Structure 1
């Protein structure tokens, strides 16, 4: 009775809004700014190379499509190679100083970009973007670390949703905002100056109001701190050893990695190439093309909300098995998205409105895969799902670097040629549809035997293990993903 009363008292102390919610909102603001800086180059590079615009105040560069592709891909060079080290640093120093460093460094780099481009040309811009990728690689592990410190298990899903909302918001805002900035008298330079000031301003707010943990935050009330720490301690589990050999030889994991690669290739193409496609292939002016490029990401957000609810309903009501549900939504996203890309490849400047509608619909359909392969890591192994996702994400980003490079190579000096754009779209469609076929025939949601590693559960926790294994709830899966990442960081 005393233990039950203690748990009730702890929950009462946690009722209502608190600093944990403010912490997640601040993290979402950081995510918004970081993703705006990450995505802005897709618009900026068009304005930097728009030779049709006569300007005496802004310098225009004659960079061909291959150089543009190198510039656009350079961010992912640093982002990919720094992912694992970033996790170690986030564990050692905490989430607050890592995000603070990323904001300050990226802000300074943005402010310096116009000058460096003038004296160092595209090579200097590539180095700047690579440095930004190196520092922004800390975002995911830092955010996972913060969620692990601030989010009680019973609130972890909704708090993590608040924190990661900034990703979609930043991506959506980038295109129209950068399009408007580039149309001013300062041209493309205003994009980088605005991003730099925004990042530095956000860094000041983050430094003053954020904390790596409730214990380190000077304004958190004692009741809320006890509520968070008691909740986290009550759910603590011993960290099991990592079965690296079993993970690296897992056929289902390789199937998941292949679809992850195909999806990431398509996502990067949407992120950095859509402004170019709208302007060069469809003949839409830069300001409008930048705004319209945000439509696929708005569609993604809407469809992801709908499919998440529907997927959860099908699983929890036993309408479809977990395996069937995962593969159904993965196929809707990949095959449907692939068909959309193929249709887009046959549309020209005479079909602008149709092309925009198809582009938006395709971007939305692609997000259905979020209820497919993305959650499959945790289906295979609740204990090591976070580690596995990090591995496939690293490989997917490494190969994804080739997406803008290949587009630049295919387009060459003919960026308005519909036939060349058709190759670009067919390549992406082929990769994502092939990945879905591999996932459908070789992927599985069956819990892997090596998930039950020695010492995985403390004595007396067999019941908890069974509950984790038998649960088909998407809510549970989402919580376990975050928890798995938290354990990964604690291990290092």
Structure 2
């Protein structure tokens, strides 16, 4: 089949049997897939944080009299909050292999369905005791552990190389926006006449709706989508520069080659460094703002939500700028990723050093610095976060599974480290040590990535 050259609205062309074929659609099937995956990350992070906010109402009968509450101690609440991370890290590598072998569509469909089911079960499970609730959170995490490896697999197959930074960052920015909306929505629902259970029911509903829509319109690859045009399909496939392995065949994972690969280790270290400080802020910032900056609970939630919202907005210019630099060939893919990552890690590290080293900072200045740090950190979405796909089209989901499982162990470790260092929550000098530790980890992991990272497809990807 040979198509004659046509002029498209966006001027992009593909080659089919020696002929240039214009891509007519400014908006195509790939954008529908991208929007759905963005909603997946948005909903999943709302499910993650709604307990972090809702646990106040769950354990305090003064928040909403008439709604059932449960008197769990500090240790039980800590186990409840960390249970989702324990479940989350377990299936990551397995999920990447499954997505590579069978495609991501139905894995995401069923994992979101079960995640919504366990979210819906939390209010009822609380009546049976804290351990029933912990089990539900663990199973939520187990389901969500399939998400990111599958998302990376979808990005590697659905997003053309010249759109990867912008569209990939848009997808993962759903995590940040999910935190913002999840915090605000959970707070409002917990204080309403419907009480804290409604926050879990509404997110379960979101999950079920997403599952049914995705089952009808989602697809693992443009090669398998029934409604995609031949022009758009070939525009996506030809953008990679070489053919990915046929997904109908068994794909062997080159484990030895991966684990002796310097670019892989660069990714692993920087991912762990990023998530260490990210989890430290996400878990401990509310306490710091309450005990040191003297914000009450209501002000705390608004300020933190605003900080993450500003970070979500900031992710877009970083993503667009990274794609611009790559597409104009101003820098190589690897160097563009390193610059974005450097902004996202070294910028916040400097800010943490300022907060810990300057004694006379006002509350407003500290809040502005934290917002600036979170905003700069969003550059990592167009940096190392997408680098798995740059170095391996065929094994991107597996690579994400490995690095993400290791990185998310920090969600379990960081609260323990903070508890060891911060003995007195009202002592600012102990919090300064936390900021210094986070800055050091950012700097070391960022320099490691600059030294060992790459933007080139590795030879072991073609094995």
**Class of the TM-score when normalised by the shorter of the 2 chains:** 0.7 to 0.9
Change (3 A) 1:288 1:238: closer
Aligned equivalents of 1:311 and 1:96: distance in 2? 29
Alpha-carbon contact 1:329-1:372 (below 8 Å) kept: yes
- State the secondary structure of the residue aligned to 1:57: coil
Change (3 A) 1:42 1:108: same
CA offsets per residue over residues 424-472 of structure 1, 9 Å max, x none? 33332232223234445x4354869xx335965xxxxxxxxxxxxxxxx
Corresponding residue number in structure 2 for 1:58: 68
CA offsets per residue over residues 346-400 of structure 1, 9 Å max, x none? 899x944333222211111223344554455567667766654443222212244
1:110 Cα deviation after fit: 1.9
1:114 and 2:123 matched: yes
Counterpart among 423, 436, 452 of residue 459 in structure 2:
452
- Gapped regions of structure 2 (runs ≥ 5): 6-14, 246-250
Aligned equivalents of 1:52 and 1:400: distance in 2? 30
Corresponding residue number in structure 2 for 1:181: 189
CA offsets per residue over residues 109-138 of structure 1, 9 Å max, x none? 2222122223222x3332222111111122
Give the length in aligned residue pairs.
446
Alpha-carbon contact 1:272-1:404 (below 8 Å) kept: yes
1:124 and 2:135 matched: no
Corresponding residue number in structure 1 for 2:52: 42
Counterpart among 431, 437, 441 of residue 427 in structure 1:
437
- Gapped regions of structure 1 (runs ≥ 5): 457-492
CA offsets per residue over residues 8-39 of structure 1, 9 Å max, x none? 99955752544443333233223321221122
TM-score (norm 1): 0.74
Alpha-carbon contact 1:326-1:373 (below 8 Å) kept: yes
Counterpart among 94, 109, 112 of residue 100 in structure 1:
109
Moved more, 42-51 or 339-348: 339-348
Corresponding residue number in structure 2 for 1:74: 83
Corresponding residue number in structure 2 for 1:479: none
Counterpart among 219, 222, 244 of residue 255 in structure 2:
244
Structure (1/2) with the larger helix percentage: 1
Correspondence 1:3-18 to 2 at 5 A: 5=5, 7=16, 11=21, 15-18=25-28
RMSD of aligned Cα (Å):
4.1
Corresponding residue number in structure 1 for 2:148: 140
TM-score (norm 2): 0.78
Aligned equivalents of 2:342 and 2:105: distance in 1? 39
1:337 and 2:348 matched: yes
Aligned equivalents of 1:382 and 1:417: distance in 2? 49
Corresponding residue number in structure 1 for 2:175: 167
Alpha-carbon contact 2:64-2:195 (below 8 Å) kept: no
Corresponding residue number in structure 2 for 1:395: 406
Corresponding residue number in structure 2 for 1:466: none
1:354 and 2:365 matched: yes
Aligned equivalents of 1:382 and 1:210: distance in 2? 20
Aligned equivalents of 2:311 and 2:91: distance in 1? 27
Corresponding residue number in structure 2 for 1:263: 274
